[in-house]
Amino acid sequence: MYTHAMKAGVIGATGYLGAELLRLLADHPSIDVSVVQASSTAGSTIAEQYPALARAYRDLVIDDVDPNALRGLDVVFVAVPSGTSQEIVAGLQPSARLVVDLGADFRLKDAASYPEWYGFEHGQPHLLARAVYGLPELNRDALLGASLIAAPGCYPTAACLALAPFILNGYVEPTGIVVDAASGTSGAGKAPGAAMHHPFVNERFAPYGVLTHRHTPEMQQLLGAQLLFTPHLAPMTRGILATCYARPAASAGITSSEQAIDVLREAYSSEPFINVTGALVSTADAYGSNVAHLTARYDARTGWLVVFAAIDNLVKGGSGQAIQAANVALKLPESSGLPRVGLAP
């Protein structure tokens, strides 16, 4: 157990996930950010890039990306695009007590899956076995003392939290599961693109990545189930709403919505960042917080179980969860620095 303030570094500090890391870590009682790096904004200050963070980081200068400059830190968060973090993480592993990668480079255990789903060869396959999947509610014991954490994707966080109590306990069939989910535009990251321009996104709700979305194998790996995943882009900044459909197993005994909700309540009764409710959930419930809001319905007419999850994609679906997992690995109070209350209205 550490008694001094831990020193942290953030690589990719001026992307959306990096900025969210800085916002949350500013209120962390045991972790101080001492080094920030981002190649595209090197030489400027965090306050210049994000005036909202000025009171916490007014004079903190952004350095160019250099893993060697982060040696000796207690924890390093790497928030760069998928496919680019492998070499950075490999350079950090010998010296940093803990590295948390917010990209996808260490989420999948099979290196051969990366060319198919992500379009790149994995250059550090020896590190895949060492990486611990950073979803505390489902993998807390494995996170204790971890040296490399693969922070989950935003869609898998919502879908797996919704489905895991039913799949892992045999309440539903492990095949034919359908996940429909919608995300705000911040999930695409800060880099500009034609598909993210306001005139294109505004008043538009559309599917993308149909049948081939890269988060599919991540969900299947964690849940041990077959599923069809269809993501949608919603004209909002933050939030994910996942609507998950599954067939109850013949022996499951789920015959009402109340029973389905009780399964969620039993699974997550002691979790600080899960809110199970009988009411329908929305992305607004989670805005700005590290809480996942869950509910379920059983449709006697069709025999389908429907489970809903709402999260903030940048907090519980990204930076907040990365900090939560780091807290567990470093044996700090799990809730340190993390908001359990969203913005309302």
Q: Mark whether 24 and 158 lie in a shared domain.
A: no
Task: Check whether residue 166 and residue 277 sit in a common domain.
Answer: yes
Beta carbons of 76 and 11 less than 8 angstroms apart = yes
Residue 1: per-residue pLDDT: 46
Inside any domain, residue 335: no
- What is the per-residue pLDDT for 168? 95
- Domain match, 64 and 125 both: yes
Identify the CATH number of the domain in which residue 247 sits: 3.30.360.10
Q: Is residue 336 part of a domain?
A: no
- Continuous segment of H or E residues that includes residue 182: strand 177-183
- Look at residue 194 and tell me if it is in a domain: yes
pLDDT tens-digit map of 166-222: 999 999 999 999 999 999 988 877 776 777 777 878 888 899 989 999 999 999 999
Q: pLDDT digits over 25-60, tens only? A: 999 999 999 999 999 999 999 999 999 999 999 999
Asked whether residue 266 falls in the same domain as residue 186, the answer is yes
Candidates 26, 29, 25, 35; CA nearest to 3 is 29
CATH number at residue 44: 3.40.50.720
pLDDT of residue 285: 96
Residues of the chain where predicted confidence (pLDDT) is lower than 70: 1-4, 192
The catalytic position among 80, 127, 138, 154 is 154
Task: Indicate whether 148 and 171 sit together in one domain.
Answer: no
User: Does a structural domain hold residue 306?
Assistant: yes
- Our count of domains for the chain comes to 2
For residue 342, being part of any structural domain is answered with: no
Distance, CA of 151 to CA of 225 (rounded, Å): 20
Domain co-membership, 280 together with 261 = yes
Specify whether 103 is located in the same domain as 185.
no
- The answer to whether 160 is a known catalytic residue is no
Structure tokens at 257: 């919505």
Q: Which among 195, 180, 193, 163 has a CA at the least distance from the CA of 232?
A: 180
Residue 175 lies in a domain: yes
Asked if residue 240 and residue 132 are part of one domain, the reply reads: no
Kindly give the interhelix angle for 320-329 and 16-25, rounded to the nearest 10 degrees: 50
One domain, residues 122 and 222: no
341 lies in some domain: no
DSSP states of 76-115 as a string?
Answer: EEE---TTSHHHHHHHHTTT-SEEEE-SSTTT-S-TTHHH
Statement to judge: residues 19 and 164 lie in one domain:
no
Q: Are residues 264 and 188 in the same domain?
A: yes
Tokens 């980081």 correspond to: 57
Owning domain of residue 31? 6-152+317-329
- Tell me: do 137 and 20 sit in the same domain: yes
Is 112 part of any domain? yes
